[in-house]
Structure 1
């Protein structure tokens, strides 16, 4: 049975839609999915004369980072709990346009999952949850990664697939096969579809809930991204 380490930031719409796809693959093939973390807040953090930002682990509350600390605590109990929590958190932001990054909303979401809302406070009170998130994040960076979704398959890191309309059933498996067959060609680094106006419109429609729910500026490799044109961001 193949296993995949799926690195995500709960704030990233592209990671969430890819997670919907990988769940369909799991249902069809029985692969194991181990959920791992990655922080867009940290990878896109600026520390220069014009703008200095605290590391997310230095803040009382950091949107994605603090949520992933909850996830880290849940993962210690079971991967299934983290799976359910990420699915619910992602659905709230990226499908419903809600705000799971608001602490009160995050507590309510835990209740809706049948969990103790005090898990949020327990995660923030436990400094080792920082360590768990940072270890996952540093693994991607050390491999040369820069964003999510990043998948480790048989030890090889792959960025993507970046999609907004995840295939289901046999189509999901075909995409999985296409992605994993890249492992046969270790010097193929990137293949990107050119996006025309119809693609931009489809991406804009898919990202509309995320745009309603977010309370931050989207950033691509240190540069603020204007989403008025609704172009795909590589790592936000």
Structure 2
């Protein structure tokens, strides 16, 4: 029998840290939105930054420009959150992700302006893209998500309350394409079972396909 959210059952808040430019985080976020339809969860988005994560590291040449351009979108997201609250990140991230990953709109000003308009936010927020004024808040958000997971991970990162109220923080799941319907729910059940097992740290295999956004 399919489990469905109930008005009488409080939703579990699932906190997810994303960088809008990460395709794997985008797919995982689409999966969580599917899980919301079949399990009593509510996804709350937060911002991490691949540019912060990889600052000072040697990265392949093909990724270097992305590290530079990637500052703008996360700064705009943090500025929007500071002005309007965390709830605003859901529509803004959805808008940015759709433009970046589905429409190949890039990471520049035009994409950010379009995403702000789609999310019903003022265009002036784009002016922070080239400013360091919000970087302290950006780094604080980044570390709030990443530090509980540990080193050598990227995005997506997810935090959920464990069965005894303790925080369970984990990297992933990295999937493609995003499962739908009850298949999404079954994956959620399995991820929670693994993440909540004392002493469990890693389950991994090499990726054999590129990101699929359908």
Bucket of the pairwise TM-score, normalised by the shorter protein: 0.7 to 0.9
Structure 2 unaligned segments of length 5 or more: list them: 1-10, 62-66, 162-166
Q: Which residue of 1 aligns with 2:170?
A: 158
Q: Which runs of 5+ in 1 are unaligned?
A: 52-60, 208-236
Question: Aligned with 1:32: secondary structure?
Answer: strand
1:6 aligns with 2:11: no
1:49-198 correspondence to structure 2 within 5 Å? 62-76=68-82, 77-99=84-106, 101-121=107-127, 127=133, 129-143=134-148, 144-145=150-151, 146-154=153-161, 155-195=167-207
Cα root mean square deviation, aligned: 2.8
Tell me the matched-pair count. Answer: 191
Q: Which whole-Å CA distance do the structure 1 matches of 2:113 and 2:184 have between them?
A: 33
Of residues 17, 22, 27 in structure 1, which corresponds to 2:37? 27
> What's the TM-score, normalizing by structure 2?
0.77
Counterpart of 2:144 in 1: which secondary structure?
Answer: helix
Measured after TM superposition, the shift of residue 42 of structure 1 is 2.2
TM-score where L is the length of structure 1: 0.70
Cα distance in 2 for partners of 1:67, 1:36 equals: 13
Measured in 2, the distance between the counterparts of 1:62 and 1:118 equals 21
